[in-house]
């Protein structure tokens, strides 16, 4: 009787303890489910596919107007990655509301915002009377891989949504004027897309048709001129920067003539342009087995730090080197990119026939990009290459060239929070192991672990039987 009573008490105690533990687990589970997803889920993906950047947090946390994000999607067709991302935006701010719109129920809804066909999982971001449509193809972006002749897919949902939010809540967007009239090239497609994503307006400008630079100019861009500006244009641009204006120039060597007046904008700050094309003598400092495709040393600055931290390397092809006179440039000129002292400038220019140093070539090192502080907070950002933003070189640098250019533009016009957010690659990274490692893992998983569990089970059973015999 005593043994039965002890067994009953022990069983009752175990039952009560199990009930208490189960109740605690249920309560904890309910509390955890009530927390926002950003506190309960940790992103361990290599590309941080389920995380958002500090740029987005800065934009969203600064909202003082209500923003609605319409999710155009059929029932049971929701993309899990987009759903996770939208939940994060929803949890970041009370000013953001996510509303689903089923195209089967609202077939004409998207027509209010776009002429494009609204595929499943497209979005519309709206604030007041301003809106932006984000197509599914703008979220999952495909780009050609020039090495494998295939396409790489990346997820750009965060960049597209944050840019749209910044656009709809700000009626006044910065405007950059593109100088024309000197054989300038059109901006490359990928870089132009990044600028538009930044909500920066672009407009053409000829200084020959105006008395002064427009007051609404956030900055002036000179891209790949093939001929020089006039003396009057030089004076106008010099006055503009000295009165607080911002100038961005990507100007490399030209095939014919020179850019003396354009380079005159630099000379009063102690920066001079060296004739010829820079060739790098250090094998580790050029790319594509081409000594004129420079991998320049990046100096620490607000423009380059993000690239340095992420170990991205821009490629600057066909560079006209700059020399900086430290006595005149002290405190006003900041070097962004530079060559090694093994570099030299080929005076033959585009007619060069060898990468070897010849008589008349000028020794380096050279500066490839500078930042100049002018009077009244004016700025000049100068890159000695007309080609580094071209789509081919941007692709070869894994987007580092475009990021460098956008960092420079965003820094110049004072836009930092809404800077272009890098898309996240969806390409798989496979783990490759040797045959011996594979065999060892198979032996461990198929043989060792099961035998170990079996041995532990036998020991537990034998121990319990021994204890029962001792108690009897």
Query: 184-238: per-residue pLDDT in tens?
Result: 999 998 899 889 888 899 999 999 889 999 999 999 999 999 999 999 999 999 9
Residue 440: partners with Cβ closer than 8 Å, 6 or more residues away: none
272-296: burial string, b at 16+ Cβ within 10 Å, e else: ebbebbbbbbeeebbbeeebbbbbb
The candidate with the shortest Cα–Cα distance to 342, out of 275, 297, 289, is 297
What is the CATH number assigned to the segment(s) 175-414? Answer: 3.40.50.880
Counting Cα atoms < 13 Å in the Cβ hemisphere of 115 gives 0
Neighbours of 316 (CB within 10 A): 29
Look at residue 188 in the predicted model and tell me its pLDDT. 94
pLDDT tens for each residue of 352-392: 999 999 999 999 999 999 999 999 999 999 999 999 999 99
pLDDT at 442: 77
Q: What is the mean pLDDT of residues 35-63?
A: 67
Across 150-169, average pLDDT: 86
Average pLDDT taken over every residue of the chain: 86
* Res 20 pLDDT > 80: no
Predicted pLDDT of residue 76: 92
CATH architecture, range 42-173 = 3-Layer(aba) Sandwich (3.40)
Phi, psi of 135 (to 5 degrees): -75, 160
Query: How many CB atoms lie under 10 A from the CB of residue 328?
Result: 14
Residue 9: per-residue pLDDT: 59
Of residues 334 and 43, more confidently modeled: 334
pLDDT at res. 465: 76
């Amino acid at each position: 009787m005593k043994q039965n009573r002890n067994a009953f008490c022990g069983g009752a105690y175990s039952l009560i303890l199990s009930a208490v533990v189960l109740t605690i687990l249920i309560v904890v589970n309910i509390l955890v489910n009530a927390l926002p997803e950003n506190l309960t889920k940790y992103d361990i993906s290599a590309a941080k596919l389920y995380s958002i950047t500090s740029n987005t947090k800065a934009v969203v946390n600064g909202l003082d107007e209500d923003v609605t994000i319409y999710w155009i999607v059929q029932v049971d067709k929701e993309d899990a990655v987009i759903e996770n991302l939208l939940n994060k935006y929803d949890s970041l701010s009370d000013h953001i509301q996510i509303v689903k719109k089923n195209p089967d129920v609202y077939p004409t809804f998207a027509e209010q915002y776009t002429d494009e066909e609204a595929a499943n999982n497209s979005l519309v971001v709206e604030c007041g009377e301003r809106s932006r449509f984000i197509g599914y193809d703008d979220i999952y972006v495909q780009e050609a891989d020039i090495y494998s002749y295939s396409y790489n897919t990346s997820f750009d949902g965060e960049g597209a949504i944050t840019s749209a939010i910044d656009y709809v809540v700000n009626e006044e967007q910065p405007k950059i004027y593109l100088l024309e009239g000197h054989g300038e090239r059109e901006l490359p497609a990928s870089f132009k897309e990044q600028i538009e994503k930044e909500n920066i307006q672009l407009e053409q400008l000829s200084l020959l048709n105006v008395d002064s630079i427009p007051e609404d100019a956030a900055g002036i861009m000179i891209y790949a001129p093939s001929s020089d500006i006039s003396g009057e244009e030089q004076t106008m641009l010099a006055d503009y920067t000295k009165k607080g204006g911002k100038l961005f120039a990507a100007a490399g060597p030209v095939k014919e003539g020179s850019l003396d007046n354009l380079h005159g904008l630099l000379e009063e700050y102690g920066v001079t342009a060296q004739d010829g094309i820079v060739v790098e003598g250090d094998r580790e400092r050029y790319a594509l087995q081409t000594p004129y495709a420079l991998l320049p040393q990046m100096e620490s600055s607000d423009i380059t730090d993000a690239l340095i931290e992420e170990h991205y390397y821009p490629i600057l092809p066909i560079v006209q080197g700059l020399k900086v006179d430290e006595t005149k440039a002290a405190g006003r000129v900041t070097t962004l990119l530079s060559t090694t002292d093994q570099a030299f400038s080929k005076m033959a220019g585009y007619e060069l026939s060898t990468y070897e140093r010849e008589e008349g070539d000028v020794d380096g090192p050279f500066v490839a990009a500078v930042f100049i502080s002018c009077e009244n907070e004016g700025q000049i950002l100068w890159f000695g290459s007309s080609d580094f933003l071209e789509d081919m070189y941007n692709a070869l640098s894994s987007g580092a060239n475009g990021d460098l250019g956008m960092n420079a533009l965003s820094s110049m016009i004072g836009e930092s929070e809404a800077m272009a957010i890098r898309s996240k690659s969806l390409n798989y990274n496979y783990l490759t192991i040797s045959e011996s490692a594979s065999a060892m893992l198979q032996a461990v998983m198929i043989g060792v672990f099961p035998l170990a569990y079996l041995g532990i089970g036998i020991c537990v059973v034998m121990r319990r039987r021994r204890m029962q015999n001792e108690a009897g």
